[in-house]
């Protein structure tokens, strides 16, 4: 435990100082600021646009950070052999992986937190500068606390992506790991279409395969409650709870698989 905490702390220190995630956060904040201008262009849809854009920015930039740091901190480490330094210490390979993951999640949380604060600052500004009449017409309030739920789910989704990045880093090169992680992220969002396959395709075999794939690859679409939150529609808390449980289980699955592979690997 202590070892895991130490490794996590080192990962956090290292990645917080790394320039690329820093740049991502800056970009995201700029985009959120720019969304105000974009909102002006959409004729009355400005609050919706700002929320849409803001949440999308958090999602996309969060994704880049998760993938970049995740891959960088393990795949790169294996390539550059700094992993030798750690593994020759009284540190088991399991502790190595768990410590890395904990550190990555901490970094992600901080980055996402900064972006969220910028986002809410923007919303506060919008709220303060819009007349009451217009505000009443908004489908959901500016500083809607449900936005935090949406962001929380985004964070949960990114925790899965980070675990994915870590998993692929355990056995492939940085480039391949990046491609696989991003590929599965895309596939995970189109997953919902797989579920509808049986409505459209006749072959029972294809439907069975589609169903199988749907269940196995990370199902990321349910983490996206942006539409409900922006439209002020109710969110099924039962579904959300199950989705969070799914996240926990899937992350555990990925970490177990990562440790299993990592333990038997040769580091040439």
Partner 1 sequence: MTSAIETEALTKEFRVGFWRPRMHCALDALTLRVEAGEVFGFLGPNGAGKSTTLKLLMQLIYPTSGRATILGRPAGDLDVKRRIGFLAENPYYYDYLTVEEVLAYFARLFGVSGAAVAARVGAVIEDVGIEAYRKTKLRALSKGNLQRVGLAQALINDPEVLFLDEPMSGLDPIGRHHVRDLILKLRQRGRTVFFSSHILSDAESLCSRVGIMAQGRLVACGLVSEMLAFELKGWELVVSGLSDDVAGRLRTRVRTITPLTHARFMLDLPPEAEPETLIGELRATGAQLVSLNPVRETLEDYFVKQVSAAKPRT
Partner 2 sequence: MSAATVDSRPSNRVGYVAIAVLMAASIGVQIVRDRGWAPFVPPDPTLWLQSGRVAEKVFLGYRHLVADVYWMRAVVYYGGKRQRAGAQQQSRAPATANFEQLYPLLDLVTSLDPHFLVAYRFGAIFLAEPYPAGPGRPDLAVQLLERGIERDNGRWEYFEDIGFVYYWWIKDYQKAAEWFKRAGEQPGAPAWLEPLAATTLAQGGDRQSSRLLWTQLLASDVEWLRNSAQLRLRQLDAMDQIDELNRRIQEFEAREKKRPTDWRQVGLPSAPLDPTGTPYRVNPKTGLVDLGPGSILFPLPR
For partner 1, the binding residues (CB under 8 A) are: 3, 6, 9-10, 13-14, 17-18, 80-82, 84-92, 264, 266-268
239 binds partner 2 (CB under 8 A): yes
Nearest approach, Cβ of 249 to partner 2 (angstroms)?
Answer: 5
Does position 249 bind partner 2 by CB under 8 A? Answer: yes
Residue 135 interacts with, from partner 2, partner 1, none (CB under 5-8 Å by kind): none
CB nearer to partner 1: give 9 or 152.
9
> What is the rounded distance in angstroms from the CA atom of residue 22 to the CA atom of residue 213?
36
Which string of x and - marks every residue 158-197 that binds partner 2 (by CB under 8 A)? ----------------------------------xx-xxx
Instruction: Select from 39, 99, 188, 222 the one that contacts partner 2 (CB under 8 A).
Output: 222
Separation of CA 10 from chain center: 21
Q: Is 134 in the site for partner 2 (CB under 8 A)?
A: no
- Report the residue number, 4 or 177, with the smaller CB distance to partner 1: 4
Least distance from partner 1 to the Cβ atom of residue 203, Å: 35
10 binds, among partner 1, partner 2, none (CB under 5 to 8 A by kind): partner 1
Site membership for partner 2, residue 228 (CB under 8 A): yes
**Min separation Cβ 258 and partner 1, Å:** 18
CA distance 103 to 5: 8
Q: Which does 192 bind (CB under 5 to 8 A by kind): partner 1, partner 2, none?
A: partner 2
CB of 214 to partner 2, least distance (A): 8
Residue 21 in contact with partner 2, rule: CB under 8 A:
no
For residue 77, give the nearest of 2, 15, 9, 1 by alpha carbon. 15
Query: Hey, what are 157's tokens?
Result: 């989704």
- Please check whether residue 97 is in contact with residue 255, taking contact to mean a CB–CB distance below 8 angstroms: yes
CB of 95 to partner 1, least distance (A): 10
Give 82 or 92: the residue with its C-beta nearer to partner 2. Answer: 92
Tell me the two tokens of residue 42. Answer: 């959409």
227 binds partner 2 (CB under 8 A): yes
Q: Select from 161, 72, 73, 76 the least CA-distant residue to 112.
A: 161
Binding-site partner at residue 62 among partner 2, partner 1, none, CB < 5 to 8 Å by type: none
Q: Which of 199, 205, 237, 267 lies at the binding interface for partner 2 (CB under 8 A)?
A: 199
């Amino acid at each position: 435990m202590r070892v895991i905490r130490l490794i996590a702390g080192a990962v956090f220190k290292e990645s917080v100082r790394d320039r690329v995630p820093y740049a991502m956060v800056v970009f995201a904040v700029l985009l959120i600021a720019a969304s105000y201008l974009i909102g002006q262009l959409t004729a009355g849809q400005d609050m919706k646009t700002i929320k849409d854009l803001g949440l999308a920015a958090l999602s996309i930039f969060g994704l880049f950070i998760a993938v970049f740091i995740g891959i960088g901190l393990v795949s790169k480490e294996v390539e550059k052999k700094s992993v030798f330094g750690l593994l020759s210490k009284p540190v088991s390979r399991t502790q190595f992986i768990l410590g890395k993951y904990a550190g990555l999640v901490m970094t992600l949380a901080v980055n996402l937190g900064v972006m969220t604060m910028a986002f809410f600052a923007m919303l506060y500004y919008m709220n303060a500068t819009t007349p009451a009449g217009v505000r009443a017409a908004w489908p959901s309030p500016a500083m809607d606390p449900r936005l935090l739920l949406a962001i929380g789910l985004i964070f949960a989704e990114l925790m899965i992506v980070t675990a994915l990045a870590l998993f692929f880093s355990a056995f492939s090169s940085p480039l391949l790991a990046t491609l696989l992680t991003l590929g599965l992220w895309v596939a995970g969002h189109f997953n919902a279409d797989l579920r509808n396959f049986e409505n459209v395709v006749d072959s029972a075999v294809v439907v069975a395969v589609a169903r199988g794939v749907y269940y196995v690859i990370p199902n990321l679409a349910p983490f996206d409650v942006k539409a409900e939150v922006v439209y002020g529609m109710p969110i099924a808390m039962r579904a959300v709870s199950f989705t969070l449980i799914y996240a926990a289980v899937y992350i555990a699955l990925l970490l177990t698989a990562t440790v299993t592979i990592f333990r038997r690997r040769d580091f040439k």
